[in-house]
């Protein structure tokens, strides 16, 4: 049986499946391994089942033992792994697409609702007590009739677009390529960022973090939005230049943000904490039991498929 280092504790059902599929090394205390610990623990292993909290950069990958042939990431995103470095060492990298699209889209909608309808301020006031209802108390932005820009119309973006449309939003999107009409479902395509942002009363960031998307929201692009726009991010923090966004919030150019992901998690930029209208969550996108089990099972199946066939449908490098 193949020996696999599983860097984070999984839900019991998934650990049982891993034990049946290969010879796993579990992390029963769910310790956050340092890069050197991952290198040390993977000695003699055939593969690593990593998580988005493991920074598998070039230096780490270059020090992995030659026996490691696959890094199966327990996430759809793989910005934590240097794909090129892995490829150069003949290490396959896989991810877990599709199984988390529904759960993540739900959080994407929560971010839109939470930011537009001032949920952060509302929760704080309700907890504090003594709030006084009045005709203009905590007036928010209504979704019905509002334009939603979807940046990245993959599976998660499409699902968010479908739900948002059912809430009465008018959907615009930017993607590397225009979708077929059945996938578009009436959404309006923009072939460049400026064009999309300029019609986005609300933006939902759903694209992967890559070199091309890094800091796509920045000092320049934030100016493309209509005044008082709302920006939400269910994808990755790397897509946003935090200082530019926080400055735009402080200037009221941007009205509110809904964020589930951050640069340098869990240490989000403290500037966000000072902004009352910031509706912020601790990376909950895929956090439902069914989804986490499905993701872990897929990460296990990816390893199994790779060793049985020499390839894997979810290989990303």
With binding defined as CB under 6 A, does residue 110 bind ligand GLV?
A: no
Considering the rule CB under 6 A, would residue 286 count as an interface residue with ligand GLV? Answer: yes
> Least separation, in Å, of the C-beta of 261 and ligand GLV?
7
CA 163 to chain centre: 18
Alpha helices in 117-238 (DSSP H): 119-128, 155-166, 181-184, 193-197
* x/- letters, 50..89, toward ligand GLV (CB under 6 A): --x----------------------xxx------------
Nearest approach in angstroms of CB 66 to ligand GLV is 28
Scanning 167-276, the segments in alpha helix (DSSP H) are 181-184, 193-197, 242-250
Q: Which two tokens stand for residue 10?
A: 């999984």
Half-sphere exposure of 40 (CA within 13 A, CB side): 5
Q: Does 158 bind ligand GLV (CB under 6 A)?
A: no
Does residue 222 sit in helix, strand or coil?
Answer: helix
Quote the CA–CA distance of 239 and 263 in Å, as a whole number: 8
Per CB under 6 A, 285 contacts ligand GLV: yes
Interface with ligand GLV (CB under 6 A), residue total 7
Q: Which is nearer to ligand GLV, 86 or 298 (CB)?
A: 298
Which among 8, 172, 190, 236 is annotated as catalytic?
Answer: 236
Check residue 149 for interaction with ligand GLV (CB under 6 A): no
Indicate which residue of 8, 118, 174, 283 is catalytic: 283
Residue 190 annotated in active site: no
> Please, what is the minimum distance in Å from the beta carbon of residue 23 to ligand GLV?
25
DSSP 178: P
Determine the Cα–Cα distance for residues 269 and 262; give it in Å rounded to an integer.
8
Does the protein bind ligand GLV through residue 280 (CB under 6 A)?
no
Alpha carbons 82 and 17: distance in angstroms, whole number:
28
What DSSP character marks residue 270? Answer: G
Interacting residues with ligand GLV (CB under 6 A): 52, 75-77, 100, 285-286
Write out the catalytic residue numbers: 236, 265, 283
């Amino acid at each position: 049986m193949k020996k696999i280092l599983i860097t984070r504790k999984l839900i019991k059902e998934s650990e049982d499946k891993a034990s049946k599929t290969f010879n796993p090394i579990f992390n029963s205390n769910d310790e956050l391994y340092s890069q050197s610990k991952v290198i040390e623990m993977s000695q003699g292993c055939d593969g690593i089942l990593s998580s988005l909290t493991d920074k598998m950069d070039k230096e780490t990958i270059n020090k992995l033992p030659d026996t490691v042939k696959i890094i199966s990431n327990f996430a759809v995103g793989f910005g934590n792994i240097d794909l090129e470095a892995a490829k150069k060492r003949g290490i396959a990298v896989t991810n877990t697409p599709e199984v988390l699209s529904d759960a993540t889209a739900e959080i994407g909608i929560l971010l839109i609702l939470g930011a537009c309808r001032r949920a952060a301020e509302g929760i704080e006031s309700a907890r504090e007590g003594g709030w006084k209802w009045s005709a203009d108390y905590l007036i928010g932005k209504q979704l019905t009739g509002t334009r939603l820009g979807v940046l990245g119309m993959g599976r998660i973006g499409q699902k968010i677009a479908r739900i948002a449309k059912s809430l009465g939003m008018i959907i615009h999107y930017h993607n590397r390529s225009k979708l077929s009409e059945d996938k578009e479902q009436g959404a309006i395509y923009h072939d460049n960022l400026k064009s999309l942002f300029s019609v986005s009363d609300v933006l939902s960031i759903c694209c992967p973090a890559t070199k091309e998307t890094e800091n796509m929201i920045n000092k320049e692009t934030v100016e493309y939005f209509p005044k008082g726009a709302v920006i939400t991010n269910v994808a990755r923090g790397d897509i946003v230049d935090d200082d530019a966004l926080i400055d735009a919030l402080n200037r009221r150019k941007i009205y509110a943000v809904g964020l589930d992901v951050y640069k340098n998690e869990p240490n989000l930029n403290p500037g966000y904490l000072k902004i009352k209208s910031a509706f912020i969550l601790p990376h909950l996108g895929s956090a439902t039991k069914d989804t986490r089990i499905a993701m872990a099972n897929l990460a296990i199946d990816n390893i199994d498929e790779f060793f049985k066939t020499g390839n894997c449908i979810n290989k990303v490098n």
